Structure 1
Amino acid sequence: MDRMNSSMVIPIVVGVFFWAPLVAQAPKNTDQRGKGGPARVPAVLWHEPADITTRDLLYGQGGKEHEPKGGFKFIEEDMGGSNPKFKIEDEQGIQWKVKLGVEAQPETVATRLLWAVGYFADEDYYLRALRVEGMRKLKRGQNLISAGGTMQGARLERHIKGEKKIGNWSWFENPFVGTRELNGLKVMMALINNCDLKKENNSVYNERGLEHRYVVSDLGASFGKTGNILTQSIGNLDDYVESRFIRRVRPGYADFVMHSRPPFFFFFRVLYYFDRSRIEKIFQHIPRDDARWMGQLLARLSNEQIQDAFRAGGYSPHEVAGFSQKVRERITELNNL
């Protein structure tokens, strides 16, 4: 009996050691559908894109008129997420959130494709070069800032007045579970190979008290290869082109490819391991009718529109052609389901 007890001590202690920090850091449930409150405001995930064939994917939903214009000054650093970010203000008093690093280009593209088919997305613009007055030393990404507050490859997200973030939403628990619209959004995540689908990347916005918009608010980890932290890639043309899209097709549904399970040595971080592994279930058992519906919407986009989305992300002509061709191939796969 004593020998058995002593043999159990080590794994129990190890489990507690790795698990305790994760429990302490687990995000609060920010679901805003409480009694007598925001539940009375309609929840909206998607709206009919009546003008899909004429939508400008070069400038996105903000259009050329919302394009960032010079005279930027530094406000503060934003420590959210994993990529360097900070807030700036332009000469018109409009605030922008700047993201630097590998996610800047793919996120700009992804917002345009989602907006094109009726989903809500941020107003993002990609600038090859940016200069910010009063730039302060950053805790993250300082190596990306040159003298005089200049930097290369920046995504600018426009702050929308009257829009207030009120929480986050989960792919597994939300007002749209089982709907065509949510399944279509899952298909879009598979199409762009978004490999970071944690709850913190999904936001609920209160739009002037009129509706609650459910948005995938961080799309940067896209257009590469899905995988764990050791195998995934972002904004990588070769990896995107070589990756599979649809895993298998059954009479009533299709499973899409998503690799998110962490390496085995993360097993001791219990919550992290199972949360990341669970992401793969998001792409399983998607009704074929719903996947085809999304394919039909995407098929209304011209090759030029799709190419414009990648041009907006600052990609080279070679990359624009390669990414666009692969997206078109995936659209064809959806319509053939």
Structure 2
Amino acid sequence: MFLLLFCLANSFHTFAQAPAAVAKEDEGKDNDTLIRQEQIHNPILWHEPGDIRSLDLFYGQGGRKAQPVAPFSFEKEVRSQSTPKFDARDTAGKRWRVKLGHEARPEVVSSRLLWAVGYFASDDYVLPSAEISGIHMHRGKKYVKGERITDARFARKPSGQKKVYTWRWKENPFTGTRELNGLRVMMALLNSWDLKDENNAIFYDKNNDRQIFLVSDIGTTFGRTGLHFTNGPSKDNVKAYVNSKFILRTTETTVDFATPSRTPSLLLETLGFGIKQYLRRNNMVWIGRGVPRKDAHWVGALLGQLSHRQLVDAFRAGNYPPEDIDQFVRVLEQRIAELKAL
């Protein structure tokens, strides 16, 4: 026990002493540096979504015309993150970030729902099948058959936008606002449990001279309320989503949501070796706790404008089978009703 506490203390000291990198907005590649207060310029987290009932949740904000068009050519593998990804170009010369595996389908559905209520998202699509000329992957080889991939997410930032920073849940220009609290509610609605700060992005929109704050990695959704040693069932798992809790408790003024949750079973599943992940996840639990009721109701009212058909279309965009769509949509509609009733 003494040795374990010593190791934990040393880990926290190392984390606290890690030097901050300096952001360079003029770099050609994405920048993952956390933004500092003095670097904030015209920030925006949410916008009026307009007529929600008229939105096309199958094609999303990019629409039918913005879809990736075959043939595709492989450019490079992205090896900086845990999920297998690579960059590819389509026949129109557009570059797409392609994600394989368990996060591909739920990410597209999640982005459709966030976009529908006024939050920002990338233009993304699930292609049931695609051939990628010259593909060669070090990771995710099980998702590649020859040069063919299935159920892959193709995403790209809207024109004129570039990732320049990341942002913290606990420290940002929107702390305490209805918009940030609404985003916390959306994470609970989707069972989005991997709420690391590095999964948040800031895009600089040069066309409107503003910094767009968004959750850019939302593939750990539609499964359990927290991480488990068996990673697959924690996301993209209709049975787990159907059986998961949504609202834990309410007071006259606040709501506690189940996502993200503490997962003490993670320690048992890993025989104690998951202590670092367990502690890291514990530091995210607050995101789903103590949300003002009025802000949760506000998001519920926005979501309540979506029709049953639109919710079905969101999951069709993720290429889910009809039997899974029925279950996912049933739970979503129940949760939306709970939010509206607050």
TM-score by length of 2: 0.88
* Cα separation, 2, equivalents of 1:75 and 1:102: 22
Q: CA deviation at 1:238?
A: 1.1
Q: Is the 8 A contact 1:97 1:159 kept in 2?
A: no
* Cα separation, 2, equivalents of 1:11 and 1:288: 40
Show the 5 A alignment for 1:161-172. 161-172=159-170
Q: CA deviation at 1:245?
A: 0.5
* 1:74-109 superposed Cα distances (whole Å, 9 cap, x missing partner): 110011322110000011110001100011110010
SS at match of 2:173: coil
For residues 80 and 179 of structure 1, do their structure 2 counterparts lie closer, same or farther at Cα, with a shift above 3 Å needed?
A: same
* Pair 1:61 & 2:61 matched: yes
Identity %: 41
SS at match of 2:80: coil
Q: 1:238 maps to what in 2?
A: 239
Which residue of 27, 30, 35 corresponds with 1:32?
35
Q: Is the 8 A contact 1:95 1:159 kept in 2?
A: no
SS at match of 2:282: helix
| RMSD (CA atoms) | 2.3
* Pair 1:306 & 2:307 matched: no
For residues 185 and 18 of structure 1, do their structure 2 counterparts lie closer, same or farther at Cα, with a shift above 3 Å needed?
A: closer
Q: Is the 8 A contact 2:228 2:263 kept in 1?
A: no
SS at match of 1:309: helix
Q: CA deviation at 1:13?
A: 5.6
* Cα separation, 1, equivalents of 2:19 and 2:288: 24
* Cα separation, 1, equivalents of 2:339 and 2:18: 39
* Pair 1:111 & 2:111 matched: yes
Q: CA deviation at 1:162?
A: 2.3
Q: 1:207 maps to what in 2?
A: 205
TM-score by length of 1: 0.89
* Cα separation, 2, equivalents of 1:75 and 1:159: 17
Q: CA deviation at 1:32?
A: 3.0
* Cα separation, 1, equivalents of 2:322 and 2:19: 43
Show the 5 A alignment for 1:169-318. 169-208=167-206, 210-230=209-229, 233-258=234-259, 259-261=261-263, 263-264=266-267, 265=272, 269=276, 272-318=277-323
For residues 107 and 289 of structure 1, do their structure 2 counterparts lie closer, same or farther at Cα, with a shift above 3 Å needed?
A: same
* Cα separation, 2, equivalents of 1:20 and 1:335: 44
Q: Is the 8 A contact 1:197 1:279 kept in 2?
A: yes
For residues 224 and 267 of structure 1, do their structure 2 counterparts lie closer, same or farther at Cα, with a shift above 3 Å needed?
A: closer
* Cα separation, 2, equivalents of 1:194 and 1:12: 30
For residues 254 and 34 of structure 1, do their structure 2 counterparts lie closer, same or farther at Cα, with a shift above 3 Å needed?
A: closer
**Mind listing any 5+ residue stretches in structure 1 that lack a counterpart?**
1-6
For residues 16 and 171 of structure 1, do their structure 2 counterparts lie closer, same or farther at Cα, with a shift above 3 Å needed?
A: closer
* Pair 1:157 & 2:155 matched: yes
* Cα separation, 2, equivalents of 1:19 and 1:33: 22
Deviates more, 1:79-88 or 1:10-19: 10-19
For residues 230 and 177 of structure 1, do their structure 2 counterparts lie closer, same or farther at Cα, with a shift above 3 Å needed?
A: same
For residues 76 and 250 of structure 1, do their structure 2 counterparts lie closer, same or farther at Cα, with a shift above 3 Å needed?
A: same
* 1:140-198 superposed Cα distances (whole Å, 9 cap, x missing partner): 11222112x11111000024342111111111111101000001010000000001110
SS at match of 1:301: coil
For residues 244 and 306 of structure 1, do their structure 2 counterparts lie closer, same or farther at Cα, with a shift above 3 Å needed?
A: same
Q: 1:96 maps to what in 2?
A: 96
Opposite residue 120 of structure 2, the aligned amino acid is F
For residues 19 and 282 of structure 1, do their structure 2 counterparts lie closer, same or farther at Cα, with a shift above 3 Å needed?
A: closer
For residues 191 and 11 of structure 1, do their structure 2 counterparts lie closer, same or farther at Cα, with a shift above 3 Å needed?
A: closer
* Pair 1:320 & 2:325 matched: yes
Q: CA deviation at 1:62?
A: 0.3
Give the paired residue count.
Answer: 323
Q: CA deviation at 1:124?
A: 0.9
Opposite residue 213 of structure 1, the aligned amino acid is I
Deviates more, 1:301-310 or 1:231-240: 231-240
* Cα separation, 1, equivalents of 2:115 and 2:190: 13
- Indicate the structure (1 or 2) with the bigger Cα radius of gyration: 1
Opposite residue 59 of structure 2, the aligned amino acid is Y
**Mind listing any 5+ residue stretches in structure 2 that lack a counterpart?**
23-32
Opposite residue 87 of structure 1, the aligned amino acid is D
For residues 12 and 158 of structure 1, do their structure 2 counterparts lie closer, same or farther at Cα, with a shift above 3 Å needed?
A: closer
Opposite residue 73 of structure 1, the aligned amino acid is S
